[in-house]
Structure 1
């Protein structure tokens, strides 16, 4: 299961006192690098059989399954954004590239009465988000980080990136998006984490809801 809050490439962690061009969310501090953090083994993926499933309350009522090649036909986008960990660490200026969630949802939209989603990873890990989160300008199905394809321990072949939320909201090894009419809680949200996880509001824990 996945609980990766930090995509740093280094082997350790160091506080950074260097200037940052924009404000950090409250309670966060810069770090230069961290080991990736997850539970369980890194999955072994065969791109020939890998699929991204879009299911649940879709606009057409159907389940859709995209192969790796079909996903690659969608428009590509890239941007630089900070990555925020709920444990108060921020890795600055990560360069992400992949498929914009907006482009995916334009092709496979949810029903108008389904404002919620669950993002599923390998081994059944899942995180709850909203459709509005997925439509945010920098919501991304990431395939690359810092100019390189995602390393397996960083979520290869696909991970969900939501820079406005804490890192646990964006699963590594993404395999499905499932739309819902009613809110549901994901793996960590069932275990005391905040339903929304907005970094600017410091929404870390369920008791803050």
Structure 2
């Protein structure tokens, strides 16, 4: 039995559902889901990727947590760049802040539409670091050695953020406090939580999940879930 059918059999649409592990989340209505499937993005693809179901808010998806303290946070931007640098949380807040509404898609098949994030465009950080022509990929580095890899063209897209707020509030620890990446057009495991580094590299370096059987690229509309 599919996940959505099972959950709808347990409780009515739009009500809180208790998932495995005791986490609570809320399904969107079937009408909202149908509307999302019928709506096209500017690039012509359906707003809801294949075989995804809708949630009202993003779900915590686990992982090895980092230090949530903004005062202890540092971000290293380095690798194949002309001007590597490290910033702290205060310096991040001093940069141009962007509020962005976007959809996010998890490989476990949930999607959350119109999620609101606040942060700094990765492209702005890259402009300061000045990637060399040899840079071809971006590696997000996070707590406990977690990494995820994104081609540089996609990493520098205008909707990729280094975010410190979700829905107007500081990130919860479970969502990557104090800072995480947000790469909306790829499955959400690419959006590394508890972010500590952005490394520009010449050759692709598959990350934590990519070396454990997940797809190296992770396009939700192509269902690039597994390698």
- Normalised to the residue count of structure 1, the TM-score between the two structures is 0.86
- Looking at structure 2, the residues matched to 181 and 49 of structure 1 have their Cα atoms a distance apart, in angstroms, of 30
- Looking at structure 1, the residues matched to 204 and 105 of structure 2 have their Cα atoms a distance apart, in angstroms, of 24
Greater RCO, 1 or 2 (C-alpha within 8 Å, sep 6+):
1
Alignment-derived partner of residue 50 in structure 2: 26
- Looking at structure 2, the residues matched to 110 and 199 of structure 1 have their Cα atoms a distance apart, in angstroms, of 28
Give yes or no for contact 1:11–1:34 (8 Å, CA) kept in 2: no
Alignment of 1:164-175 (within 5 A): 164-175=185-196
Give the deviation of 1:32 after TM superposition: 2.8
Max radius of gyration: which structure? 2
CA RMSD of aligned residues (A): 1.8
Q: Which has the larger displacement, 15-24 or 152-161?
A: 15-24
Question: More helix by proportion, 1 or 2?
Answer: 2
Mapped pair 1:192 → 2:213: yes
Alignment-derived partner of residue 25 in structure 2: 12
- Looking at structure 1, the residues matched to 31 and 78 of structure 2 have their Cα atoms a distance apart, in angstroms, of 44
Mapped pair 1:38 → 2:65: no
Alignment-derived partner of residue 77 in structure 1: 98
Give yes or no for contact 2:148–2:192 (8 Å, CA) kept in 1: yes
Stretches of structure 2 that go unaligned for 5 or more consecutive residues are 1-22, 40-46
- Looking at structure 2, the residues matched to 87 and 47 of structure 1 have their Cα atoms a distance apart, in angstroms, of 30
- Looking at structure 2, the residues matched to 157 and 78 of structure 1 have their Cα atoms a distance apart, in angstroms, of 16
Mapped pair 1:95 → 2:119: no
User: Tell me, what secondary structure is at the counterpart of 1:12?
Assistant: strand
Alignment-derived partner of residue 136 in structure 1: 157
**Aligned length in residues:** 194
Give yes or no for contact 1:11–1:33 (8 Å, CA) kept in 2: no
- Note the alpha carbon deviations across 1:24-58, whole angstroms, 9 max, x for none: 11221212346411134x33333333210011111
Alignment of 1:52-71 (within 5 A): 52-58=75-81, 60=82, 62-71=83-92
- Looking at structure 1, the residues matched to 48 and 66 of structure 2 have their Cα atoms a distance apart, in angstroms, of 33
